[in-house]
Structure 1
Amino acid sequence: MPRASTGPELLIRRELHRRGLRFRVNHKPLPGRPDVAFTRVRLAVFIDGCFWHMCPEHGTLPKNNAEWWLAKLRRNVERDAEKDDKLAALGWSAHHFWEHEDPLAVADTIEARWRELKDPA
């Protein structure tokens, strides 16, 4: 199923590219298809939507069919943990950010982690 990039993903990717970082988008070979994957340093980045991943600050639950939605959203969170475990087993580092976070701050964090992995002390 094709997926469209969200606004926050585009802003973060644009900023990372502006900084000279190169990456793969929705990298299919990896569990969970990271939004951004730095293959050389094995860094997987996910930009999680507040609704779909139950953000503690902005996540809401629909009033209609609330029980069904709660089960679905909880399963999404469980699946996130499972894909992180699979990535770790493959030697990858997974990092999650919320869609509401400042794109520049997210890019700063990603770049710092990328540099740590690229040039370990």
Structure 2
Amino acid sequence: MPADTVTPATRSRMMAAVKGKNTKPELIVRSALHRRGFRFRMHRKDLPGKPDLVFTGRSAVIFVHGCFWHGHDCHLFRWPKSREDFWRDKIAKNIERDRRQYHTLAETGWRIGVVWECALKGKTRLPFDSVADQCAMWLKSDIKILEVRGDEARATV
């Protein structure tokens, strides 16, 4: 069986169509926080990484990351079987760029939150209110870092 079931041209079109902002997970998080009374700016180009959500008055940013594109160590991430060198290089660069952007944001006084896609979908997803509540509690706190990821214990259930 071939590694890919579509032609290279079709795969290229499919990958090019993947959005970088206003993704479904991002819209879900934005909507939940807005309903909880939080106001924010989106994709500020003057900040490293163009955070998905920027809470200026709280000196906080939230990134909603796709597990594949950012190389998350969860069940949603799998190395592609074709063009392995290309994908390993690309994802490694994405991870390194994320680290640099987080470092720059932290140095300039920003608090950084990351909501991983696996917290919102798949076999390890958390109850949605739990994700929104974790973000809301973090935003109201002085805690510097937030990471919301899927619950690996749920995978065995």
With structure 2 as the length reference, what TM-score do the two structures score? 0.69
The code of the aligned residue for 1:15 comes to A
- Among 63, 86, 98, the alignment partner of 1:68 is 86
% identical aligned pairs? 38
The code of the aligned residue for 1:76 comes to N
Q: How far apart, CA to CA, are the structure 2 residues paired with 1:80 and 1:3?
A: 14
Shift of residue 3 of structure 1?
4.7
Select the structure with the greater relative contact order (CA < 8 A; seq sep ≥ 6): 1
RMSD, aligned α-carbons: 1.5
Instruction: Verify the 8 A CA contact 2:43 2:54 in the aligned structure 1.
Output: yes
Q: How far apart, CA to CA, are the structure 2 residues paired with 1:110 and 1:45?
A: 9
Q: How far apart, CA to CA, are the structure 2 residues paired with 1:21 and 1:7?
A: 19
Q: Which runs of 4+ in 1 moved over 4 A?
A: none
Aligned to 1:34: 51
Aligned to 1:91: 109
Q: How far apart, CA to CA, are the structure 1 residues paired with 2:58 and 2:37?
A: 15
The code of the aligned residue for 1:113 comes to W
Aligned to 1:105: 130
Which ranges in structure 1 are unaligned for 5 or more consecutive residues? none
Q: How far apart, CA to CA, are the structure 1 residues paired with 2:31 and 2:81?
A: 36
1:97 alignment partner, SS class: strand
2:71 alignment partner, SS class: coil
Instruction: Verify the 8 A CA contact 1:49 1:99 in the aligned structure 2.
Output: yes
Instruction: Verify the 8 A CA contact 1:47 1:98 in the aligned structure 2.
Output: yes
Q: Give 1 or 2 for the bigger CA radius of gyration.
A: 2
Instruction: Verify the 8 A CA contact 2:21 2:52 in the aligned structure 1.
Output: no
Q: How far apart, CA to CA, are the structure 2 residues paired with 1:51 and 1:62?
A: 10
Alignment of structure 1 residues 5-84 onto 2, 5 Å: 5-57=22-74, 58-84=76-102
1:1-31, Cα deviation, whole Å (9 max, x unpaired) = x954110110110010001110111111111
Q: How far apart, CA to CA, are the structure 2 residues paired with 1:75 and 1:83?
A: 12
With structure 1 as the length reference, what TM-score do the two structures score? 0.89
Instruction: Verify the 8 A CA contact 1:12 1:104 in the aligned structure 2.
Output: no
Q: How many pairs align?
A: 116
Q: How far apart, CA to CA, are the structure 1 residues paired with 2:99 and 2:59?
A: 17
1:25 alignment partner, SS class: coil
